[in-house]
């Protein structure tokens, strides 16, 4: 068992001002994973991509503040900035509870697809063990900074994650048997969420907002989160697994081609643990 960081996504199509239940993406679930009750689960952030109209994005359940409005947010059209953190220096995370069925609802445009995304941290979950480091270890172990480019083309008329490609599909200059930390990801074209998935990440999709106007935030997104929460939240993978580290993005009304730049840090040999087990409490 170990720590997991997972993005959960859903969408609505052409709902206008009518508050509508979001349709969860294939492979995702709005029901919080089951864990030991002594282990904690956190909603770290949430964001959406509404391209033609601003709209509502709310998350509620009997276990949150209330089961009517709960966490009610406003998504501005053509902006996928994080709504809960802003990757700031001091952030309050919302605690979630095992097997709680979150109710996710949206309003949006009168015709197009509008997506919604939540980033959830599991301190310890059965069957999953991603590799993560904190900022202190990053600063001690990092040797070189790397810019890794990859192009993703999503499928039109779909809020699903599509266009999956290996992280080395465009350029492959990785050193053999070397660990790399993912600091963040920039995109030149707006997408709802950028997903990264592989065995080193616990085989669940880690996600980041696809906002091109906030490159100074997204280039070191995971490093900022790690510093803000004082937790090991910077994903690490080994270059031996580069062909199975898959990158995809949520689609939208029209097909989107986005050129992504991964900001990576090469780590010194033997510095990154195989899996960082989160503490039982935080």
Which of 113, 99, 94 lies closest to 50 in space, CA to CA? 113
Reported pTM? 0.93
Residue 230's region, left for phi above 0, alpha for psi from -120 to 50, else beta, is left
Higher-pLDDT residue of 276 and 140 is 140
Domain ranges of the chain: 2-125, 132-267
Q: Tell me the fold of 132-267.
A: Jelly Rolls (2.60.120)
**CATH placement of domain 2-125:** 2.60.120
Q: Is 269 helix (H, G, I), strand (E, B) or coil?
A: coil
Q: Are 2-125 and 132-267 the same fold in CATH?
A: yes
pLDDT at 17: 97
Q: What is the enclosing helix (H) or strand (E) of 141?
A: helix 135-141
Measure the CA–CA gap between 227 and 225, rounded to whole angstroms: 5
Give the model confidence (pLDDT) of 111-137 as tens digits: 999 999 999 999 999 888 899 999 999
Could you tell me if 260 and 151 are in contact, meaning their C-beta atoms sit under 8 angstroms apart? yes
Q: Is 4 helix (H, G, I), strand (E, B) or coil?
A: strand
Could you tell me if 223 and 164 are in contact, meaning their C-beta atoms sit under 8 angstroms apart? no
Q: In what order do the strands lie in the sheet with 132-133?
A: 132-133, 234-238, 179-187, 257-267, 142-153
| Average pLDDT of the residues of the chain | 93
């Amino acid at each position: 068992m170990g720590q997991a960081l997972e993005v959960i996504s859903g969408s609505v199509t052409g709902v206008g001002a009518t508050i509508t239940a979001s349709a969860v993406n294939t492979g995702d679930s709005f029901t919080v994973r089951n864990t030991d009750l002594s282990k904690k689960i956190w909603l770290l952030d949430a964001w959406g991509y509404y391209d033609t109209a601003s709209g509502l994005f709310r998350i509620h359940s009997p276990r949150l503040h209330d089961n009517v409005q709960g966490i009610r947010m406003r998504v501005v059209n053509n902006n996928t900035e994080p709504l809960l953190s802003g990757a700031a220096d001091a952030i309050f995370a919302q605690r979630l509870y095992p097997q709680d069925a979150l109710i996710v609802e949206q309003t949006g445009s009168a015709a197009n697809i509008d997506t919604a995304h939540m980033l959830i941290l599991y301190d310890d979950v059965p069957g999953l063990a991603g590799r993560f480091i904190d900022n202190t270890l990053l600063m001690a172990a990092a040797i070189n900074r790397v810019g890794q480019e990859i192009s993703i083309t999503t499928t039109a008329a779909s809020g699903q994650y599509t266009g999956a490609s290996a992280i080395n599909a465009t350029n492959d200059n990785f050193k053999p048997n070397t660990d790399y930390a993912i600091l963040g990801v920039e995109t030149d074209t707006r997408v709802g969420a950028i997903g990264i998935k592989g065995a080193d990440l616990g085989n669940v999709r880690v996600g980041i907002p696809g906002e091109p106007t906030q490159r100074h935030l997204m280039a070191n997104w995971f490093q900022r989160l790690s510093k803000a929460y004082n937790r090991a939240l910077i994903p690490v993978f080994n270059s031996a697994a580069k062909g199975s580290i898959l990158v995809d993005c949520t689609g939208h009304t029209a097909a989107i081609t986005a050129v992504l730049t991964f900001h990576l840090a090469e780590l010194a040999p033997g510095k990154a643990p195989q899996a960082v087990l989160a503490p039982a409490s935080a």
